[in-house]
Structures are given as structure tokens and as C-alpha cells.
Amino acid sequence: MATLSRPVPATEEKMRPNIASADVQLPAVRDYEQVDREIVGTLHPTVAWFIGLGVAILFLIIGASAWMYQIYNGLGVAGYNPPVMWGVYIITFVFWVGIGHAGTLISAILYLFRAGFRTTIYRCAEAMTVFAVMTAGLFPILHLGRPWKFFWLIPYPNWRYIWPQFKSPLVWDVFAILTYLTVSSTFLYIGLIPDIAVLRDREKTNPVRKRILSVLSLGWRNSDREWRHFARAYLFLAAFSTPLVLSVHSVVSFDFAMALTPGWHTTIFPPYFVAGAIFSGIGMVFTIIIPIRKWFNLKHYVTLNHLDAAAKLALFTSLVVGCAYMTEWFVAWFSGNEAEKAFFANRIWGQWWWASAILYTCNMVLPLSLFSQRLRRNTTWLFILSIFINIGMWFERFVIVVPSLSHEFEPWQWTTYHPTWVDYAILCGSFGWFSMWFLLFIKQLPVIAISEVKEIVMPRLRTAHAHGTTVSGEHQDYEADTPGEHD
Amino acid sequence: MRGVLAHFKELDSLVEAIEELKAKKTGDITVYTPTPRHEIEHAIHAPPSKVRLFTLIGGLAGVTFGYWIAIWISDYWPLVVGGKAIASWVPYTIFGFEVMVLVGALSTVVGLFITSRIPKLTMTVGYDPRFSGGDYGLWLECAPDNANEAAALLRGHGATEVRSER
């Protein structure tokens, strides 16, 4: 913490407060009380929230019913036929793991880089991470014919003659994803402690809730000692999480890259997967944060400056991902490997051309619009684009998984793949599961970090200082969505 | 534990009060602030946090355990494939790294708990719920003889409310 305010050189006026740069400032937020009042105010359930929760639970029930049907009738109902033994489930697994990456990226990497725009969006992204990884974790279990034996997946020596193979990417996955889930959840919870203390201290009417919040806040009192150690611990957690983000999706990419299958066996996969994961995660952050800022009336917290900066990050990762796509084509052509060339021809011009077209349009072409500052600051376009990015990133995983398995070395193996209604229902259920947890989260805990927002709000001072509080220079001035909205 | 608890509305008033109390060495000071501020940190001159030691020890223990568990299991239940090495350090670096992050992060949290003295089961003397909202608080632990003088000093610096507690 204490990241967004700049220490003032000692030569300057003694009591001039440390202030955030202009592109981070929240001019429509005047004091700490307003921060508490408005952010805590978002916790009251509304009719729209109940409707949203109901829809999420309905989707979840659809997915759960399809899973029950699959358990009863066998995995064959999910549309898997040799050699395409991975399909929607693994695609959706990688999709959700990817979504889970942006949370820790925004939270940890941008924290280390002192990127101020993270302040108002990182809590949302962190919660998204935890719930997305929880969703991803379901898919290895859903992919089992006998899911009640899921513990066979956990690599420990046993008397079932299943000895852990530590050279297998699937075992690496278990370690990487469990570490990621644990560290992400810890990071989210540690960041929440001061905010839970705010909720505890403001709770006057419900003694049970106050008691629960007291336990969850661990008796946090905002003392200088607590803040000092908290800041250091938070920094180290961020420093651990940053390489963890890069390692986890690299490990997920090894699930594919370690196989000799055409289209998979390539060294570009780890950076390609990491960039794709960050891109998809930022897309999902936009999908979530734009409605939240509108419905909860938080436009003066998640400002256009913040969205603009996040959109630049989306543009950058889109360009990285686009570069990776083109490198794949080049490597296939330059390698002289006939199987690889034939596979890529089939992927782009053959039976899977439509999936590739969706992928390239959503991930490479449409994000180029973000070169326009006007569109980066247009929340409607950002929301629409984020939906396209989500679709594009799901199809990216489709294009990685299905065309490779359906077009391996031997022509007699070449086949096609059709997902069944069970696949679609479980995909739908995964969105229901994720949304249900997220909706429950945003009504119990603050969706914007209260204590960090207070860092960028001007503290109350007895002596008005001559310098004022604005920082001139190249930063964008604050701009309300509607002119005069917060005057 | 006896002392004086002062409420401040303004940051600069609080910082001036801390500086004067520090200069006079009146007693141990605890400052409550809704958000961390550099100004308070500089006025208090606190030593660096010891959380880093927990992180270092946890990280080293984790990386050692990660390599060891992979090598030991491979050696004890060997899967011999193509005459390749039973324990191979390249893929096992993944376990070393992941377990380093896991144990390092968890020990950082343990370090935070120990150094910050949380969890606390009860709210200790000298805390007010307003300190997590918009007010700053200053708890000065001092002998009853000095309490009146300290209270006068704090009021002089703009404390909106000063009270003795024990």
C-alpha cells in the first residue's frame, strides 16, 4: 500500500501532502467519509441483483443437470470420439484459467510497476481470478467418467499402483494451479482485511454480521504498526505472484507443447499462452467492471482515465497475441515440416476456417480500434469489444485443441468434432457458477478497495497549501462520462 | 496500560503532534490512520519491517522441499523410461519454483500476523471505530503525571477530542 502518493522532496513546502498523479486522481471524491459511504452503499442488495443471482443459479442448475446426465450415461454423451478426446471441457478449462490471470496481473504486476489505474479495478479483478480458477478447477473433475475418484488425480504415492510421474505436465499442472489458487485467494483476503475492518466499524444494526466481520478482520485496528508490516507483506506477495502468473499459464501451455501433435509441439506456446491469458482476463475485467460502475454509480471512482489505461493494456496484449499467431504461421512455413504445414493450411483454409476467422477477427482486428482514444474512452464500445474478446479467446483455445487432434499425422485419423448439448450445457453452467460466486461476493464485500482509494483522495488539512492538488503535465484531465455529472 | 487518546481531523495537525511528542520523548506512540500515509511514516521513524525474514526463510524452505519431494518420490517409486535419468532437475525446477512461491507466500502471511500482532481477539485500549473511517487517532502511552501535559499539547495541535484511557 502507500503506493500511489508520491513522496514530496524535502526542499518543498513542509506540509504539502503526497498526491496522486492527475490521471489517477478522483476529483469527484472529496473526502474519506464519502468513500466509505458510497462504496459500502453498494453492498445493499437490489432487485436487479436478485434477478442476476437467480439467472446465474439457473445456468448452474442447467450445467449440474447435464453433468448428472453425463455421470449416469457415461462420458460418451459429451461428444468425444477418438482421436478428439479433448474438446469443450479442456477448452473451457484453459479459458477460465486464462481469465484468472488478469486478476493477479492487475493486482500484482501493476502494483510493482506503480500503475495507479489499478487502484479502482484490482479488487474486482482479484475476485474474478479466484472464482475463475475455482471454475477452471471443476473441469478436470467434469472430464472424469467416475468423478468420485477425483483424488486419483492428486500426485501422491499410493497402493493403487499409480505412481506420480513428476516429468508429466499434468502433474506440473496440479502443483501450479493449486499454488495459484492458494496464493491468489491469500492475496485477495490480505488486501480485504482493512476494508473488512471498515465494514465492521460501520455495522451498527446486525450483531451477527458484526461478529462475523470482526472475526474476518482479525481485529485489524489501522495502527501504524499494522500498516507498516502490511505494506511490506503486500509487496512480497505481489513479488511472488508476478512470476507465478507467468509460470502458471506456461505450465498450462506445456500440457499441449510437450505432445508431438502438429500445432502443439512448439516453443512459442508459453509466452503465447501467457499473453493470451492476460488479454482474455482484461477482456473479462471490462465485461464485469463496466456494468458495475454503471449500476452501482461508481463512475467517479472507475474513471475514464482508468479505463483508458486498461484499454491500452488490452491493446498491447492483443498486439502480442497477434504477433504470436503470425509467428506460428511463419514457424509452420519455415520449418519445412509437411505435417505442420498441412495442419496450418487446414486450420486456416480447411474445415476449421470459420473458427479461425472468428478468432482472428475478435482478437486481432477488432482490438485495433483501441488505437483510437475516443473509443478507448467510450464505455459502450469497450463493453461490446470485451464480449468479442471473450468469444475470441474461447475460440482461440478451440482452434488450438480441436484442429490439432482432428488432423494429426496419419490421414486415416483425420476426423471432425461436434460438441453435444451436454458440452454446451456444462459450458453454460460454468458461467453460472462463476457469476453466482461473483454476485455473492459483490454484495458481501467491497468491490472497490476502500483503503487504497483513500490513498488517492486528498486528506483533510488544517493549513491549505499554496500548490493546490493537481499535477500538470502529460496526464489526461479528469473527464466525467456525462459533462457536469459530478460538479 | 494508561495513556491519552486523541482524535484528529486533519493530517497535518496529526503529523505536527507526532513530531513534537517524538521530540519531547513523552511516551510510546501508536497512530491510527484510515489509510497509510508517507507523512505519518516519516514522522514516526519506525524501523523496517521484519516480514522480509519470514519471506526469505519460507521461500528457501519451499524451494528445498519442492526439489526434495520430487527427487525423493522419483527415487523411491522409480518410473524408468528409455534409460533416462530418474530424477531430472529441469522439470523438477517447476516443483521447486511452485512450492517456493506457495511456502514463501504463506510464510509472509504468517510473518505479517506475528509482526502486526494479529489476529486480536479483543479491541485493545485506545481504539475508536472512527479511525477506520475518516479520522486519525493518536494513542500516547504515558504515566498519569504526564497525561495532563500531553493532553494540552495534543489540543494545542488541533486534536478535536482528547481523553484519558486505561
Whole-number pLDDT of residue B118 = 87
pLDDT of residue A474: 38
C-alpha of A91 from chain center: 16
What are the chain B neighbours of A198 within 8 Å (beta carbons)? 34, 132-133
Q: What is the mean pLDDT of residues A28-39?
A: 90
What value does the mean pLDDT take over residues B138-151?
87
Q: Are residues B84 and B111 in the same domain?
A: yes
Over range B96-122, report the average pLDDT.
94
- Pick B55's closest partner by Cβ from A198, A221, A236: A236
Chain B residues with CB inside 8 Å of A251's CB?
94
Q: B136 and B109, same structural domain?
A: no
Which residues, listed in sequence order, are joined to residue B139 by a DSSP beta bridge?
Answer: B5, B30
pLDDT at residue number A107: 84
pLDDT for A428 equals 97
Determine whether the interchain pair B129/A232 forms a contact, defined as Cβ–Cβ distance below 8 Å.
Answer: no
- The answer to whether B123 contacts A175, with C-beta atoms less than 8 Å apart, is no
Residue A312 to residue A1: CA distance in whole angstroms? 24
Any domain includes B149:
yes
Q: How far is the alpha carbon of B85 from chain A, nearest alpha carbon, in Å? A: 11
Give start and end residues of each alpha helix (H) in A11-149.
32-41, 47-73, 88-104, 110-112, 122-136, 138-142
Name every chain B residue with its beta carbon within 8 A of the beta carbon of A114: none
Beta strands at B28-32 and B161-165: parallel, antiparallel or unpaired: unpaired
Q: Which of A348, A299, A324, A304 is nearest to A448 (CA)?
A: A299
Going from the C-alpha of A176 to that of each of A165, A196, B74, B128, the distances in angstroms are 15, 29, 19, 43
Question: Is B73–A462 a contact, with Cβ atoms under 8 angstroms apart?
Answer: no
Residue B100 resides in a domain? yes
Partner-chain contact B102 A179, CB within 8 Å:
yes
Task: Tell which B residues from 71 to 110 touch A, by Cβ distance under 8 Å.
Answer: 73-74, 76-77, 79, 81, 88, 91-92, 94-95, 97-99, 101-102, 104-106, 108-109
Count of CA atoms in the C-beta half-sphere (13 A) of A44: 6
Q: Determine whether A106 is exposed, middle or buried from the number of CB atoms within 10 Å of its CB (0-12, 13-18, 19+).
A: buried
Q: Examine the pLDDT at A360 and tell me if it is beyond 80.
A: yes
Q: Is the pLDDT reported for residue A159 higher than 80? A: no
> Is B127 domain-assigned?
no
Q: Domain containing B65: what range?
A: 51-116
> pLDDT tens digits for A202-219?
998 899 999 999 999 999
Of A18, A182, A218, the CB nearest to B118: A218
Give the pLDDT mean for A367-372. Answer: 96
Give Cα A364 distance to the centre of its chain: 19
- Give the highest mean pLDDT range of A17-31, B28-42, B122-136: B28-42
Spell out which residues of chain A touch residue B98, defining contact as CB-CB under 8 Å: 172, 175-176, 179, 244, 247
pLDDT value of position B79: 84
DSSP tag of A43: T
Q: For the stretch A279-317, what's the b/e string if a residue is b when 16 or more beta carbons lie within 10 angstroms of its beta carbon?
A: bbbbbbbbbbbbebbeebebbbbbbbbbbbbbbebbbbb
Check whether B125 has a pLDDT greater than 90: no
A466 confidence band (pLDDT: 50, 70, 90) = very low
Q: How far is CA A207 from the centre of its chain?
A: 35
Q: Check which CATH number belongs to the domain holding B16 and give it.
A: 3.30.70
Residue B46 is nearest to which of A167, A228, A230, comparing CB atoms?
A228
Same domain flag for B99 and B156:
no
- Give the best residue of A250, A462, A467, A469 to mutate against chain B (max B CB count within 10 A): A462
B69 and B94 part of one domain: yes
Give the residue-averaged pLDDT of A19-42.
82
The residues that bridge with B28 in the sheet, in sequence order, are B141
Size of chain A in residues: 487
| Position A15 confidence tier, pLDDT thresholds 50, 70, 90 | very low
Range in A92-96, A154-158, A284-288, B29-33 with the lowest mean pLDDT: A154-158
pLDDT at B6 over 90: yes
Cβ B151 vs Cβ B17: under 8 Å: no
Is the CB of B155 inside 8 Å of chain A's CB atoms? no
Query: Grid coordinates 474476518 are at which residue?
Result: A216
Mean pLDDT of chain A: 87
Number of separate domains in chain B: 2
Using an 8 Å Cβ cutoff, are A231 and B36 in contact? yes
Query: Chain A: nearest CA to B145, how far in angstroms?
Result: 25
Taking contacts as CB-CB distances below 8 angstroms, the residues of chain B near A246 are none
Measure B148 CA to nearest chain A CA, in Å: 24
Residues B62 and B110 in one domain: yes
The reply to whether B103 and B82 lie within a common domain is yes
Residue B20 counted as domain residue: yes
In the prediction, which pLDDT does A473 show? 35
Size of interface A-B (CB pairs under 8 A): 204
Give the model's pLDDT for residue A464: 59
Residue with the three cell numbers 461473483: A438
Does B98 share its domain with B63? yes
Same domain, B87 and B58: yes
* pLDDT tens, position by position, A89-132: 999 999 999 998 878 877 888 888 888 888 889 999 999 999 99
- What pLDDT digit, counting tens, does each position of B154-164 carry? 999 989 999 88
CA distance A193 to A179: 21
Quick check: A240 and B46 CB within 8 A? Answer: no
Q: Which of A164, A229, A451 sits opposite B51 (nearest CB)?
A: A229
> Which of A102-111, A129-138, A225-234, A444-453 shows the lowest per-residue confidence on average (mean pLDDT)?
A102-111
And the C-alpha cell for A386? 470485451
Q: CA of B144 to nearest chain A CA: how many angstroms apart?
A: 23
Type of residue numbered A428: C
CB-closest option in B88, B101, B134 to A167 = B88
pLDDT at residue A480, rounded to an integer:
66
Whether residue B105 and residue A241 make contact (CB cut-off 8 A), yes or no, is yes
Alpha carbon B78 to its chain centroid, in Å, reads 45
Inter-chain residue contact A183 with B91, CB threshold 8 Å = no
Q: Rank A40-49, A168-177, B48-57 by mean pLDDT and report only the highest.
A: B48-57
Q: Do B109 and A190 touch (CB under 8 A)?
A: yes
Per the model's pLDDT, the better-predicted residue between A432 and A455 turns out to be: A432
Residue B70 is assigned to a structural domain of this protein:
yes
With respect to residue B123, please indicate whether it lies within any of the assigned structural domains: no
The alpha-carbon gap from A169 to the nearest alpha carbon of chain B, in Å, equals 9
To probe the interface with B, which of A188, A221, A456 has the most B CB atoms within 10 Å? A221
pLDDT of residue A475: 40
User: Residues B55, B111: one domain?
Assistant: yes
Name which of A226-240, A328-342, A428-442 the model is least confident about. Answer: A328-342
pLDDT, greater one: B130 or A27: B130
Residue type at position A439: L
Question: Which of A2, A224, A240 lies closest to B44 in CB terms?
Answer: A224
- Model confidence, pTM: 0.89
Any idea which residue has 492428486 for its cell? A154
In a domain, B121, yes or no: no
pLDDT in tens, A385-398: 999 999 999 999 99
B39 and B13 share a domain?
A: yes
pLDDT over 80 at B150, yes or no = yes
Instruction: Please say if the pLDDT value at position A1 is more than 90.
Output: no
Question: Model confidence over A396-438: pLDDT tens digits?
Answer: 999 999 999 998 888 888 889 999 999 999 999 999 999 999 9
CB interface of B with A, residues 104-143, below 8 Å: 104-106, 108-109, 111-113, 115-124, 127, 129-134
Give A468's pLDDT tier (boundaries 50, 70, 90).
very low
Question: Coil, strand or helix: which one is A164?
Answer: coil
Q: Output the pLDDT for position A470.
A: 41
The string of DSSP codes covering A402-424 is HHHHHS-SSGGG-------HHHH
pLDDT at A18: 57
The ipTM assigned to this model is 0.94
Give yes or no: residues B26 and B70 share one domain.
no
Tell me which chain B residues have a C-beta less than 8 angstroms from the C-beta of A5. Answer: 37-38
Looking at residue A471, its pLDDT comes to 38
Q: How far apart are CA A27 and CA B26, in angstroms?
A: 39
Residue B20: exposure state from Cβ atoms within 10 A (0-12, 13-18, ≥19): middle
- Res A482: pLDDT: 62
Phi/psi for B164 (5° steps) reads -85, 140
Considering the domain boundaries, does residue B141 fall inside one? yes
Assess whether B109 and B139 both reside in one domain. no
Would you say residue A12 has pLDDT above 60?
A: no
Contacts of A158 in chain B (CB under 8 A): none
Contact flag B11-A17 (C-beta cutoff 8 Å) = yes
Per-residue pLDDT of A258-306, as tens digits, reads 998 888 988 999 999 999 999 999 999 999 999 999 999 898 899 998 8
User: Who wins on pLDDT, B147 or A72?
Assistant: A72
